[in-house]
Structure 1
């Protein structure tokens, strides 16, 4: 599946001859997909929730979520007519933790995961984190 606004997804990258590790990092290199991963690290969400929180069009969010599903990082559960998306691989949080450490060591500290000690793995009221260099509350 090739995306017009985000580049190819993992399966398309692998089919084109890119090694699987490079394809995975390529999928996470897209800012929108990384922001979706960051949001889903706090708990499941519907596409409508993601569009509102990220300020993006529904079609854009849906394409990026489909890409993350394509590489088995995200899946969904149906509840009636709604789909709730969630992260499938806890190892992804380890990868993001390592990326935070590496970026901090190179002088570019950012928070890629929810703050530790927050309720249900999410942000507590008043917690501030920096996502991709943008401070948010």
Structure 2
């Protein structure tokens, strides 16, 4: 007999997953990479040049973004190109920019985050 999980536990799990989703974009390096990829698909070398970060750091953050479904890849010759997988990511980033624009002073001064 399969025992059903209480609704509260399922809601807690969903809340954890959503928080983890936002945590994926809360790292400044991952966020910069995601924003860069909104413009166009890029390979690691292009991201290194554009963002001024180390290749290993970009590769590590791309692996995270890819694993969690923020970006996908395609290979062209020896290069792997990364792009935003889901247009909803673009919408989330744009909404976040709008909220920050409206609340920048308070967000900047917040000591609880």
* Structure 1 stretches of 4+ moved >4 Å: none
Cα RMSD after superposing both structures? 1.4
- Give the structure 2 partner of residue 47 of structure 1: 44
- For 1:95 and 1:81, how far apart are their aligned partners in 2? 32
- Give the structure 1 partner of residue 57 of structure 2: 60
- Give the structure 2 partner of residue 74 of structure 1: 71
Considering fraction of residues, name the structure with more strand.
1
* Corresponding pairs, count: 92
The alpha carbon displacement at 1:88 in A equals 0.3
The alpha carbon displacement at 1:107 in A equals 3.6
Q: What are the ranges of 5 or more consecutive residues in structure 2 without an aligned counterpart?
A: 1-12, 106-113
- For 2:36 and 2:21, how far apart are their aligned partners in 1? 18
Structure 2 length-normalised TM: 0.76
- For 2:47 and 2:78, how far apart are their aligned partners in 1? 17
Structure 1 length-normalised TM: 0.63
**Structure 1 stretch 95-104 or stretch 32-41: which is displaced more?**
95-104
Q: Deviations over 1:99-128 (max 9, x none)?
A: 1121122145xxxxxxxxxxxxxxxxxxxx
Considering fraction of residues, name the structure with more helix.
2
- Say yes or no: does 1:105 pair with 2:102: yes
- Say yes or no: does 1:33 pair with 2:30: yes
Which residue of 88, 92, 102 maps to 1:91?
A: 88
- For 1:52 and 1:107, how far apart are their aligned partners in 2? 29
